[in-house]
Amino acid sequence: MENNTSKRLLTVDEFAFLTAQKPRTIRQRIWRREIPYVKVGRNVRLRAELVNELIEAGTVPAIEARNLSRADLVGPHRAH
């Protein structure tokens, strides 16, 4: 039996709140077909598990500082 959360559908406003984005941004991404959505009659809904998928896809891994020199951490320098 599947978890009830995996079947949960969110409104655009709920999804925007959970992803710290504006509802307008979510609607634009839906219109551009950048994120999958579900039509329920005339309403647009988003799968709740998509929140975690987007967070995982956008997560940038940390760099282990002990393997880097100070120059690597500061970035490129300009010649003066």
> Which tens digits make up the pLDDT trace of 7-20?
899 999 999 999 99
**Domain ranges (residues) in the chain:** 4-74
Other CB atoms within a 10 A radius of the CB of residue 44 amount to 17
Number of continuous H segments (helices) and E segments (strands) in the chain: 4, 3
Architecture in CATH for domain 4-74: Orthogonal Bundle (1.10)
pTM (2 decimals)? 0.68
What's the CA gap between 11 and 60, in Å, rounded? 27
> Which tens digits make up the pLDDT trace of 1-53?
455 555 899 999 999 999 999 999 999 999 999 999 999 999 999 999 999 99
Q: Average pLDDT, stretch 51-65?
A: 87
CA atoms within 13 Å, Cβ hemisphere of 80: 0
Q: With 60 as the cut, is the pLDDT of residue 67 above it?
A: yes
Residue 20 near residue 58, CB atoms below 8 Å = no
